[in-house]
Chain A
Amino acid sequence: MITLGKDEIAKYPFLADAGQYLKDKGFTLQQFGIDPVLKIPLEKAFDRVQVSADGKIYKSDLIDGEASDIALENEVFSFLLAIVLLKLTGITTLIKRFALAEARRAEKYLEKDLANITDDSKKELAIKIIDDLFSIQVKKQDDFFIIPISNYLEHSINFHEREWKLVNRRVKNGSVFLTPHETVRLIRKELSNYISSKIFNAKMPSMISGFEEPVKKLNSLSKKFVTYTVTNGEYPPCIKHAIEILEKGENLPHSGRFMLATFLLSRNQSIEQIAPLFKNAPDYNERVTLYQLNHLAGTSGSGTQYSCPSCEKLKTQNLCFAIPECNNILNPLQFGKKRK
């Protein structure tokens, strides 16, 4: 367990034991609903959730991580109360957005602590948080932080920006070299998962007097999350290419057949509709094709339904033939879908 100072709890409130913290400070949740002074952190808590719902990061009162004791306490209270509000509202999307925004907020402090050259204890704490929470062993070398390639990959594969690809990184002797900023950016997703799982696993409180109003407001706030999508039905170029190859009677590699079949299955085509596409393949065998399609659809074998590979994977397999309309999609299934 990491021991935290006052200002550190304010920077990384998700590391605190919420119930214990309130008890130590001599408060109960009920007091926050009625006491006019304690209403301030409740308002702050609402603010914190609202800002995150808009995809922004809550600006805290901590300046360079330092502030008065009361400001520090309010900072922690508002985080804990935000969790109570989210639990009472019960909307997953709100929780996820909050967790992400809080992760990004903490990221700023972690980065600052990592880069701290005057106070080694701050740097060590940041390194310890990263190691304890996400099992990444960070070492300092000159101006860089180095981490084992395997650790790096486990986190970086969640990023779609090319700059995060290993090939675009400085790599030597089994390690990746990162700046403080990149080091903490690497764990954003995990940090937000960590925060959201803490919220999901927290005990469900019953409604507290004085909390009804903010909960109601958050409920109506989340209505705007609903969007509609339409599909124009056209196939992406990778799928068109695969169909062309098969129509010509040429050999489509196994990975290409997998892509085509899983794509069409996801577009709700039946096995009977898909099977004839493979008829021209040089090694066509009806029995094998039907068996394999059934397997992919999950109607036979282990029952797992296979999904269409991502664009990134298809690129690796030389099956991607991207055109401008492919911009910003991560999976062929998203091709031609527009948000309304």
Chain B
Amino acid sequence: MQEKEIKFVEEAFKNYYFNHFDLIHVPERTSEREFGFQKFNSGMIRHISLKDDKELHLLLMQNKPSDVYCSNGYYSFPNLQMSEKEWKEADLIFDIDAKDLELSCRQNHCVTKCVECSHISKSSNHCSKCNSTKIEVKSLPCKNCIEESKKEVEKLKNILIEDLGVEKNSIQIYFSGNEGFHVYVYNSQFQELGSRERSELVDYLMFRGTIPETFGMKKLRPSRQLFPEINEEGWRGRFSKEVFGSKSKRSKIISELINEGYSNFQRKLEILSKTVGAQIDPNVTMDIHRIFRLPGSLNSKSGLSKVKCNDLKQFDPYNDSSFLNEETIELIANCPVEFKLKKRKFGPYSNEKITVPTYAAVYMICKKLAVLS
């Protein structure tokens, strides 16, 4: 991003922060958290500790950050360097991102920008002008991306409640501000678990690392009785609902599975993990020192806010998280994909001069698909 655009976006962000203090709060146990922020075209500044909302608002006004973060971890000394912080515990966090869901709609709304010649074209693995493979992919997620991500959130929530015993009201869901959702679990039995233990939880939620024996299949002389029943709980139950479908088909399908043999069964389990497992980003959940986007703050990849979803089903990110102002501005846009914000359609634009509201201008500038004219 060039100086001119940075100034414009920073100003728009600052306006948002000034006018929407009500949306941005420090989390509970503030003084035990580490905060961090980034400015446009600059590195991360972290190891910051804050006392209250007032200090946070001051930080936002003084620094005009592009992104603001807060730790999921709790520390004795959050402002000291990592080795001296004295980690106490961490909330369980999840990131569900549409880009990891291998959705077929993706190619329709992804744009490729070449790092070397800046040429913009529709989704590809190389630049269509200079053939370079050094490319940046910018996605303008569609309705389908959001709906599919919501399904993953629901899947995750069910396993958390039914299997892991998490209380329904200790789960909070946020739109990430770009392509997916962030899920927080507070005050669970998992608060004090380290990274390795959390990685086991990840495998559980994603249905990874399963062995055929868990579902009754054995290498030698498998016994039909060991296969799960339709009404079982946990993964055995989900497996049977997915694979058998109904009680009446169970017996026939067990015979087929036994006939196909052990290694085919193993392969089937691996494929199943893509459909029945919750598609979360393992690295985020494993990280006990992460500084995670602060609720209420803006995402510099889009200019949309990370907002809480009280009613996930009804939630429409392109309406409910777009808070920048309506003031119009002139741009030169090169955005080959159409998008919708605040119920208004924009694009496609092919290297043309346009006048759009600030929220749409920031969206395209953040995606590097427009510059100020």
Are A173 and B204 in touch, CB under 8 angstroms? no
Partner of A175, one of B165, B235, B283: B165
- Nearest-neighbour CB distance to chain B for A244, whole angstroms, equals 13
Chain A 138-194 residues near chain B, CB threshold 8 A: 148-150, 153-154, 156-157, 162-163, 165-168, 170-175
Q: Which of A1-9, A41-49, A91-99, A309-317 contacts B (4 or more CB under 8 A)?
A: A309-317
Among B81, B197, B213, residue most surrounded by chain A Cβ atoms (within 10 Å): B197
B208 on the interface (CB 8 Å rule)? yes
A312 to B203, CA, bound (A): 11
A223 on the interface (CB 8 Å rule)? no
The digit string for B189-230, where 1 denotes a CB below 8 A from any CB of A, is 110110011011111100111110110000000000000000
Among A167, A168, A254, residue most surrounded by chain B Cβ atoms (within 10 Å): A167
A254 to B162, CA, bound (A): 33
A248 on the interface (CB 8 Å rule)? yes
Are B82 and A302 in touch, CB under 8 angstroms? yes
A168 to B209, CA, bound (A): 8
Beyond A153-B200, A165-B203, whether A172 also contacts B209 by CB under 8 A is: no
B-side contacts of A170, CB under 8 Å: 234, 236
With both beta carbons as reference points, the residue of chain B lying nearest to A281 in the complex is identified as B134
- Nearest-neighbour CB distance to chain A for B283, whole angstroms, equals 6
A250 on the interface (CB 8 Å rule)? yes
B62 on the interface (CB 8 Å rule)? no
B163 on the interface (CB 8 Å rule)? yes
B-side contacts of A249, CB under 8 Å: 133-134
Are B201 and A166 in touch, CB under 8 angstroms? yes
B233 on the interface (CB 8 Å rule)? yes
Among B82, B134, B136, residue most surrounded by chain A Cβ atoms (within 10 Å): B134
Beyond A282-B136, A316-B203, whether A168 also contacts B115 by CB under 8 A is: no
Please tell me the size bucket of the interface on B: 35 or more
A-side contacts of B192, CB under 8 Å: 150
Are A174 and B189 in touch, CB under 8 angstroms? yes
Partner of A172, one of B190, B200, B233: B233
A121 on the interface (CB 8 Å rule)? no
B166 on the interface (CB 8 Å rule)? yes
A249 to B114, CA, bound (A): 13
With both beta carbons as reference points, the residue of chain B lying nearest to A312 in the complex is identified as B199
A17 to B269, CA, bound (A): 51
The digit string for B19-57, where 1 denotes a CB below 8 A from any CB of A, is 000000000000000000000000000000000000000
Beyond A149-B189, A302-B82, A315-B209, whether A168 also contacts B199 by CB under 8 A is: no
Partner of A282, one of B115, B196, B214, B233: B115
A334 on the interface (CB 8 Å rule)? no
Partner of A173, one of B162, B209, B235: B162
A31 on the interface (CB 8 Å rule)? no
Partner of A149, one of B135, B164, B282: B164
B294 on the interface (CB 8 Å rule)? no
A-side contacts of B133, CB under 8 Å: 248-250, 282
Beyond A154-B193, A316-B282, A317-B283, whether A163 also contacts B200 by CB under 8 A is: no
A209 on the interface (CB 8 Å rule)? no
- Nearest-neighbour CB distance to chain A for B74, whole angstroms, equals 16
B-side contacts of A167, CB under 8 Å: 203-204, 207-210, 214, 235
Are A153 and B234 in touch, CB under 8 angstroms? no
Beyond A165-B200, A166-B201, whether A149 also contacts B165 by CB under 8 A is: yes
B-side contacts of A163, CB under 8 Å: 211, 213-214
With both beta carbons as reference points, the residue of chain B lying nearest to A283 in the complex is identified as B115
B-side contacts of A299, CB under 8 Å: none
With both beta carbons as reference points, the residue of chain A lying nearest to B269 in the complex is identified as A167
Partner of B166, one of A174, A254, A313: A174
A231 on the interface (CB 8 Å rule)? no
A60 on the interface (CB 8 Å rule)? no
B263 on the interface (CB 8 Å rule)? no
A255 on the interface (CB 8 Å rule)? yes
- Nearest-neighbour CB distance to chain A for B192, whole angstroms, equals 7
- Nearest-neighbour CB distance to chain A for B158, whole angstroms, equals 13
Beyond A167-B204, A167-B208, A174-B165, whether A157 also contacts B196 by CB under 8 A is: yes
B248 on the interface (CB 8 Å rule)? no
A128 to B164, CA, bound (A): 25
B255 on the interface (CB 8 Å rule)? no
B83 on the interface (CB 8 Å rule)? yes
A163 to B163, CA, bound (A): 18
A32 to B371, CA, bound (A): 90
- Nearest-neighbour CB distance to chain A for B233, whole angstroms, equals 5
Beyond A150-B193, A166-B200, whether A174 also contacts B164 by CB under 8 A is: yes
A95 to B344, CA, bound (A): 74
A248 to B133, CA, bound (A): 8
B286 on the interface (CB 8 Å rule)? yes
- Nearest-neighbour CB distance to chain A for B120, whole angstroms, equals 16
Partner of B213, one of A150, A168, A316: A168
Q: A149-B201, A304-B83 are in contact. List 7 more A-B contacts (CB 8 A).
A: A157-B200, A165-B203, A165-B204, A166-B203, A171-B164, A171-B234, A248-B133
- Listed in ascending order, the chain A residues whose CB lies under 8 Å from chain B are 148-150, 153-154, 156-157, 162-163, 165-168, 170-175, 248-250, 254-255, 282, 302, 304, 312-313, 315-317
> Could you write out 17 A-B pairs with CB less than 8 Å apart?
A149-B189, A153-B201, A157-B200, A165-B209, A166-B203, A167-B207, A168-B214, A170-B236, A171-B234, A172-B163, A172-B165, A173-B165, A174-B166, A254-B283, A282-B115, A282-B136, A315-B208
- Listed in ascending order, the chain B residues whose CB lies under 8 Å from chain A are 81-83, 115, 133-136, 162-166, 189-190, 192-193, 196-197, 199-204, 207-211, 213-214, 233-236, 282-283, 286
